[in-house]
Amino acid sequence: MYDVAAVRKDFPIFETGIAYLDSANTSQRPRQVTSAVLDYWERYNSNIHRAAYKIAEEATDRYEATREKVRAFINAASTKEIINTRGTTEAINLVAYAWGRANVRAGDLIVLTILDHHSNIVPWQILAEANGARIEYVDIDERGELRQDQFRELLEQQPRLVAFSQVSNALGTINPVDDMVKRAKAAGATVLVDGAQGAPHQGVDVRALGCDFYAFSGHKMLGPTGAGILYGRRELLEQMDPFMGGGDMIKTVRVEGTTYHDLPWKFEAGTQAIGEVIGLGAAVDYIGELGMENIREHETEITEYAYEALSDIEGLTVYGPPPSRRAGVISFALDGIHPHDLATIADRDQVCLRAGHHCAMPLMTRLGVPATARASFYVYTQKDEVDRLVGSIKEAQRIFK
Q: Catalytic residue at 211?
A: no
Q: Assign 3-state DSSP to the chain and report helix, strand, coil percentages, each to 5.
A: 45, 20, 35
* Amino acid making up residue 149: D
The 10 Å Cβ neighbour count of residue 134 is 12
**Spatial separation of the C-alpha atoms in residues 176 and 255, rounded to whole Å:** 50
Locate the DSSP E strands across 195-315: 213-217, 228-232, 250-254, 257-260
Using only C-alpha atoms, the chain has a radius of gyration, in whole angstroms, of 22
Between the alpha carbon of residue 199 and those of residues 63, 196, 227, the distances in Å are 20, 6, 14
Between the alpha carbon of residue 197 and those of residues 26, 179, 352, the distances in Å are 10, 18, 19
Spatial neighbors of 191 by CB under 8 A, at least 6 apart, are: 161, 162, 163, 181, 184, 185, 210, 211, 212, 213
- Closest to 136 measured CA to CA, from 179, 147, 169: 147
Sign of CA dihedral 3, 9, 15, 18: negative
Spatial neighbors of 342 by CB under 8 A, at least 6 apart, are: 334, 353, 355, 373, 392, 393, 396
Q: What is the DSSP letter of 220?
A: G
Catalytic residue among 122, 359, 369, 390: 359
**Spatial separation of the C-alpha atoms in residues 187 and 172, rounded to whole Å:** 27
Locate the DSSP E strands across 116-227: 134-138, 161-165, 190-194, 213-217
**Spatial separation of the C-alpha atoms in residues 212 and 192, rounded to whole Å:** 6
- Closest to 191 measured CA to CA, from 134, 233, 145: 233
Helices (DSSP H) in 29-132: which residue ranges?
Answer: 31-43, 54-74, 88-94, 101-103, 122-131
Q: Which of the residues are catalytic?
A: 359
